[in-house]
Chains A and B, each alone.
Chain A
């Protein structure tokens, strides 16, 4: 079945460092891909999405490019801030679910940014 694999955390960075969180997926067909972010004590929020190969999703300085050839959707940010400390989830839309919106989530990667 479809699956998402994220790099293990926690990832600890200093403020203004470059961030990469790796995400690879296995899917039949061409799913949409997502990054969600969960701040402490809150629910998951959509950070960005891409719906087809070579699309780049971007938001709040974060970017991710849908790479069909490597089945990847890595999250990047050029300069992280302490306020970016959160758990980041990669996800894909499950194909064949009849457009019900069901998502397959990765296990989440915790990012800690130190001042």
Chain B
């Protein structure tokens, strides 16, 4: 099993640009989670999906953030326009029951 796959692993962009982060969950898992981790705020749940349907997006910081899950094997998190305060490590995780499996993360730097 390849585990949860995230791309890109590192992203450096300039303020105002659109950023798209990608995630491929573990095959057979029916829930997918997007987290953000910073030194100041720790680990924050942004949004999660169950059977490709968004269940709770209350953690999404603002309208600049959006997430989609068009099928069971792919999800995106988009930031448009990006701002320096969005700099963080973004993790995707998937689960089949109560155990989540995390991807390696995408380190985003917005200049």
Assuming the A-B contacts A43-B104, A100-B48, are A93 and B98 also in contact, with contact meaning beta carbons closer than 8 angstroms in the complex? Answer: yes
A51: B residues at CB distance < 8 A: 98
Contact A45 B102 (CB under 8 A): yes
Instruction: Tell me the chain A residues, 15-60 only, with Cβ under 8 Å from chain B.
Output: 32, 34, 36, 42-46, 49, 51
Contact B102 A44 (CB under 8 A): yes
Contact A89 B43 (CB under 8 A): yes
Q: A99 interface residue, CB < 8 Å from B?
A: yes
Assuming the A-B contacts A42-B104, A108-B43, are A101 and B98 also in contact, with contact meaning beta carbons closer than 8 angstroms in the complex? Answer: yes
Interface residue range, chain B: 20 to 34
How close is A81's CB to chain B, nearest CB, in angstroms?
Answer: 23
Contact A108 B42 (CB under 8 A): yes
B95: A residues at CB distance < 8 A: 100-101
Interface of chain A, main secondary structure:
loop
How close is A90's CB to chain B, nearest CB, in angstroms?
Answer: 12
Contact B99 A102 (CB under 8 A): no
- Closest A-chain residue to B49, C-beta based? A100
Contact A43 B91 (CB under 8 A): yes
Contact A107 B42 (CB under 8 A): yes
- Closest A-chain residue to B56, C-beta based? A102
Q: B50 interface residue, CB < 8 Å from A?
A: yes
Q: B34 interface residue, CB < 8 Å from A?
A: no
Q: A13 interface residue, CB < 8 Å from B?
A: no
Bound: A108/B42 CA distance, A: 8
Assuming the A-B contacts A100-B50, A102-B33, A108-B42, are A46 and B101 also in contact, with contact meaning beta carbons closer than 8 angstroms in the complex? Answer: yes
A100: B residues at CB distance < 8 A: 31, 48, 50, 55, 95
Contact B104 A102 (CB under 8 A): no
Contact B102 A101 (CB under 8 A): no
Contact A43 B103 (CB under 8 A): yes
A34: B residues at CB distance < 8 A: 99
A→B interface (CB under 8 Å): 32, 34, 36, 42-46, 49, 51, 89, 93, 97-103, 105, 107-108
Question: What are the 8 closest A-B residue pairs judged by CB atoms, nearest first?
Answer: A101-B95, A43-B102, A93-B98, A101-B31, A100-B50, A44-B102, A100-B31, A32-B98
